[in-house]
Amino acid sequence: MSRPNPYVPYRMRIAKVTEEAPGVKTFRLEFADPEQGQNFTFKAGQFGEYSVYGEGECTFCIASPPTRRGYIECTFRQAGRVTSALADRDEGDLIGFRGPYGNTFPIEQWEGKKLLFIAGGIALPPMRCVIWNVLDLRDRYGDVTIIYGARTVADLVYKHELAEWGTRSDVRLYVTVDPGGETPDWKGRVGFVPTILEQVAPSAENTIAIVCGPPIMIKLTMPVLGKLGFSPELIYTTLENRMKCGVGKCGRCNVGKYFVCKDGPVFTLAQLNQLPPEY
Amino acid sequence: MTESAILQKRSLAELFSRLIAAGHRLLAPVRRDQQVGFEPVSSPQEVATDWVQTTRPAKSVVFPRYEEILRYRFAGKDVEVEEPRPSAPSTVLFGVRPCDAASFAVLKAVFTWDSPDVYFEPKLAATTIIGLSCTKADPYCFCTSVGGGPGDTRGSDILLTPLDDERYLAEILTERGRMIAELAPGLFTPADAVSKERVLAQVPARFNGQDLAARLGRLFDRTEIWLEQSLRCLGCGACAFVCPTCSCFDIQDERDRQGGLRLRCWDSCGFSLFTLHASGHNPRSVQSERWRQRVMHKFSYQPERLGLLGCVGCGRCSRACPVDMNLAEHVQSLAEISG
Give the residue from B114, B247, B256, B308 with the most A CB atoms within 10 Å of its CB, the best one to mutate: B114
Write down the H helix ranges in chain B.
Answer: 12-21, 98-112, 120-125, 175-183, 209-215, 223-230, 238-241, 287-296, 302-306, 316-320, 327-338
**Given this model, what pLDDT does residue B1 score?**
55
**pLDDT above 90 covers what percent of chain A?**
95
**Alpha carbon separation from A275 to A101, A256, A278, B63, B299 (Å, rounded):** 21, 6, 8, 30, 17
Contact A56 B251 (CB under 8 A): yes
- List domains and CATH numbers for chain A: 10-101 (2.40.30.10), 114-238 (3.40.50.80)
Which residues, in sequence order, are CB contacts of B21 under 8 Å at separation 6+? none
Considering chain A, what percentage of its residues have pLDDT values greater than 70? 99
Tens of pLDDT, residues B115-160: 999 999 999 999 999 999 999 999 999 999 999 999 999 999 999 9
Which of chain B's residues have a Cβ under 8 Å away from the Cβ of A61? none
Encode pLDDT of A198-227 as tens digits: 999 999 999 999 999 988 899 999 999 999
What values do phi and psi take at A75, rounded to 5?
Answer: -125, 130
pLDDT digits (tens, 9 = 90+) for A87-119: 999 999 999 999 999 999 999 999 999 999 999
* Residue span of the structural domain in which B329 resides: 3-338
Q: What is the DSSP letter of A247?
A: S
Q: Pick from B111, B252, B277: which is nearest to A249 by CB?
A: B111
pLDDT, tens digit, 9 for 90 and up, residues B282-322: 999 999 999 999 999 999 999 999 999 999 999 999 999 99
Contact B249 A248 (CB under 8 A): no
Looking at residue A12, its pLDDT comes to 96
| Cβ-Cβ contacts under 8 Å for B317 (sequence gap 6 or more) | B238, B239, B240, B242, B243, B325, B327
| Strand A144-150, strand A207-212: pairing | unpaired
Determine the pLDDT at residue A252.
92
| Gap from B50 CA to chain A (nearest CA, Å) | 36
- Which distant-in-sequence residues (6+ apart) come within 8 Å of B256 by Cβ? none
| Chain A, nearest residue to B220 by Cα | A276
A77 touches chain B (CB under 8 A): yes
B110:A249 CB<8 A: yes
DSSP output for B159-194? EEEE-SSSEEEEEE-SHHHHHHHHHSGGGEEE--S-
Any B CB within 8 A of A1 CB: no
Q: Give residue B192's pLDDT.
A: 78
| A1 has a pLDDT exceeding 80 | no
CA distance A54 to chain B (A): 5
Per-residue pLDDT of A14-24, as tens digits, reads 999 999 999 99
* pLDDT tens, position by position, B35-72: 999 999 999 999 999 999 999 999 999 999 999 999 99
The pLDDT of residue B335? 96
Rounded to two decimals, what is the model's pTM? 0.94
Phi, psi for A116 (deg, rounded to 5): -120, 115
**Could you tell me if the ipTM is greater than 0.85?**
yes
How confident is the model over B252-256, as a mean pLDDT? 95
pLDDT at B243 over 50: yes
Nearby residues of A140 by Cβ (< 8 Å), 6 or more positions away:
A111, A112, A134
Helix (H) or strand (E) holding A135: helix A124-136
Q: What is the maximum span of chain B, computed from C-alpha positions, in angstroms?
A: 71
Express each pLDDT in A224-267 by its tens digit.
999 999 999 999 999 989 999 999 999 999 999 999 999 999 99
Mean pLDDT for B262-279 is: 95
Strands A72-77 and A24-31 come out as antiparallel
Q: Nearest C-alpha of chain B: how many angstroms from A173? A: 27
Rounded distance between C-alpha atoms, residue A177 and residue A154, angstroms: 9
- Would you call A94 an interface residue with chain B, using a CB distance cutoff of 8 Å? yes
Q: What mean pLDDT is predicted for residues A80-85?
A: 94
- Per residue in A123-163, pLDDT (tens digit) is 999 999 999 999 999 999 999 999 999 999 999 999 999 99
Tell me: the pLDDT tens digits for B157-183? Answer: 999 999 999 999 999 999 999 999 999
Query: Quick check: A59 contacting B, CB < 8 Å?
Result: no
Cα separation values, B331 from A276, B206, B216, B276, B296, Å: 20, 9, 10, 27, 10
What is d(CA A218, CA A2) in angstroms, rounded to the nearest whole number?
A: 34
- Shortest alpha-carbon distance between residue B155 and chain A (Å): 21
Partners of A273 on chain B (C-beta within 8 Å) are none
Rounded to 5 degrees, what angle do the CA atoms B248, B252, B256 make? 155
Q: Does A215 touch chain B (CB under 8 A)?
A: yes
Is residue A3 scored above 70 in pLDDT?
Answer: no
Contact A235, A249 (CB under 8 A): no
Pick from A7-11, B82-86, B144-148, B200-204: least confident: B82-86
Q: Within 13 A of A131's CA, how many CA atoms are on the CB side?
A: 29
> Please, what is the average pLDDT of chain B?
95
Residues on chain B touching A214 (C-beta within 8 angstroms):
279, 281
Residues of A with Cβ-Cβ distance to B259 under 8 angstroms: 54
Number of domains in chain B: 1
Q: What is the pLDDT of residue A133?
A: 98
